[in-house]
Amino acid sequence: MNPRSVVVTGAGRGIGRAITLELAHAGFDVIGTVRSEDRGEALRAEVAGTGAAVRTVLLDVADPTSCVQAFTRIAGMTGGGPWAVVNNAGFAQPGAVEDVDDEQVRQQLETNLVAPARIARLVLPAMRDRRAGRIVNVSSIAGRVSLPMLGWYCASKRGLESVTDALRMETEPFGVKVSLVEPGSYGTGIWEAGADLLPDEHASAYGDQYAAAGEVLRGVRNLPGPRPVAQAVHKALTARRPQPRYLVGGGARSTAVLDAVAPTAASDRVKQLATGLRTAPPRVTRALARLRGR
Ligand SMILES: NC(=O)c1ccc[n+]([C@@H]2O[C@H](COP(=O)([O-])OP(=O)(O)OC[C@H]3O[C@@H](n4cnc5c(N)ncnc54)[C@H](OP(=O)(O)O)[C@@H]3O)[C@@H](O)[C@H]2O)c1
């Protein structure tokens, strides 16, 4: 086993791509998983263009057979199994709880919650035998703070945090270190893709919110790039004593603090205002307009 071999799931785009570049340049033997040959070829070419290297393997994390096949192949490529895994692949299913059907719920939980646990089961026997290994699960500030219109995404990440906390305690005596990375919002394809998954605004009691949310999600252009998330993953892999949690970004840190200290009724109100479920009282709207006019 190469002591620096790391599997990154969902490596072809967004945060996974940033993690792949960060780790490949830090000298790790990165195996990036992708869902298509084309994406793999593009990733290998892009990393090679920057003077580093990555190997790729096909994997759909939501498909148990694909997971077994991919990790059998990876065991062959790494001499018995990778030293570390970064469970990054994921997506955000938006919609009011009333509008998201069972199949969409299953796909959300399968991808963001069940798959990282399944992958842990596939890599842990070799990690325990070697008494060395690391697992980094990419969660979100949404794993700590629930938001309306993203209830199932938040549930998937909250569940991932619970399972990861248990896993960390269970595997520590075997020398396997487990961390969570909890990013705030970063500019990747996840929000535009989420807009395409919004329920039909014409067939929903929440149609007005969906129309507004669709506009916001499709217009998300000013978010920072995902490199800070990749740097946090790098820290989780290289720290002698990795932290259980890495909150990434000022927005995520302030949201976590505010949500923990504010009374629930107050934080509910702020989240409802932010998602258009409530409108601000006229005097607040007037005060905001005055501020904007300055
Ligand atoms: N961006 C943010 O603001 C943010 C904030 C907090 C947490 N996160 C988390 O960060 C992770 C990466 O998100 P991102 O922002 O980079 O999103 P993204 O740009 O949409 O990329 C998602 C990645 O996951 C892969 N993926 C999705 N479903 C998959 C499946 N069933 N099997 C294998 N791969 C799958 C995609 O592969 P394809 O290319 O094949 O579609 C893609 O590589 C997610 O877990 C997300 O929840 C993101």
Q: Give the span between the Cα atoms of 158 and 112, in whole angstroms.
A: 10
Question: What number does the ligand 1 atom closest to the CA of 187 have?
Answer: 1
Q: Give the span between the Cα atoms of 117 and 203, in whole angstroms.
A: 36
Q: Are residues 122 and 214 in the same domain?
A: yes
Q: Are residues 257 and 278 in the same domain?
A: no
Output the CA 71–ligand 1 centroid distance in Å: 19
Q: Are residues 241 and 268 in the same domain?
A: no
Q: Are residues 60 and 91 in the same domain?
A: yes
Mutation choice for ligand 1 from 188, 221, 223, 247, CB with most ligand atoms inside 8 A: 188
pLDDT at position 247 is 98
Output the CA 189–ligand 1 centroid distance in Å: 8
Q: What is the 3-state secondary structure (H, E, C) of 150-195?
A: EHHHHHHHHHHHHHHHHHHHHHHHHCEEEEEEEECCCCCCHHHHHH
Q: What is the Cα 286 distance to its own chain's centre? A: 38
**Residue 206 known to be catalytic:** no
Ligand 1 contacts CB of residue 224 (under 6 A): no
Q: Are residues 284 and 238 in the same domain?
A: no
Q: Which two tokens stand for residue 206?
A: 């929440």
Q: Are residues 221 and 268 in the same domain?
A: no
pLDDT at position 213 is 84
Sign of CA dihedral 277, 280, 282, 287: negative
Output the CA 87–ligand 1 centroid distance in Å: 10
Q: Are residues 101 and 73 in the same domain?
A: yes
pLDDT at position 212 is 86
Question: What number does the ligand 1 atom closest to the CA of 34 have?
Answer: 40
Q: Give the span between the Cα atoms of 64 and 118, in whole angstroms.
A: 8
CA-wise closest residue to 68 among 54, 58, 56, 55: 58
Residue 176's region, left for phi above 0, alpha for psi from -120 to 50, else beta, is beta
Read off φ and ψ for residue 268, nearest 5 degrees. -60, -45
Q: Give the span between the Cα atoms of 96 and 230, in whole angstroms.
A: 31
Ligand 1 contacts CB of residue 174 (under 6 A): no
> Mean pLDDT in runs of 10 for the chain (294 residues)?
88 98 98 98 98 98 98 98 98 97 98 98 98 98 96 98 98 98 96 92 94 83 93 98 97 94 94 84 73 62
Question: What number does the ligand 1 atom closest to the CA of 153 have?
Answer: 47
Residue 190's region, left for phi above 0, alpha for psi from -120 to 50, else beta, is alpha
Mutation choice for ligand 1 from 46, 85, 91, CB with most ligand atoms inside 8 A: 91
* Contact predicate 182/244, CB 8 Å: no
Q: Give the span between the Cα atoms of 240 and 206, in whole angstroms.
A: 48
Ligand 1 contacts CB of residue 61 (under 6 A): yes
**Segments forming the whole domain that contains residue 187:** 5-261
Catalytic residue, candidates 153, 186, 206, 210: 153
Q: Are residues 151 and 293 in the same domain?
A: no
Ligand 1 contacts CB of residue 117 (under 6 A): no
Q: Are residues 94 and 32 in the same domain?
A: yes
Helices (H) and strands (E) in the chain, counts: 12, 7
* Contact predicate 172/124, CB 8 Å: no
Q: Are residues 93 and 205 in the same domain?
A: yes
* Contact predicate 190/145, CB 8 Å: no
Ligand 1 contacts CB of residue 153 (under 6 A): no
Ligand 1 contacts CB of residue 183 (under 6 A): yes
Ligand 1 contacts CB of residue 87 (under 6 A): no
Task: Output the domain CATH number for residue 90.
Answer: 3.40.50.720
Q: Are residues 267 and 279 in the same domain?
A: yes
Output the CA 263–ligand 1 centroid distance in Å: 32
Ligand 1 contacts CB of residue 193 (under 6 A): yes
Looking at the structure of the chain, the number of domains it has is 2
Q: Position of tokens 């970063």? A: 186
Q: Are residues 204 and 250 in the same domain?
A: yes
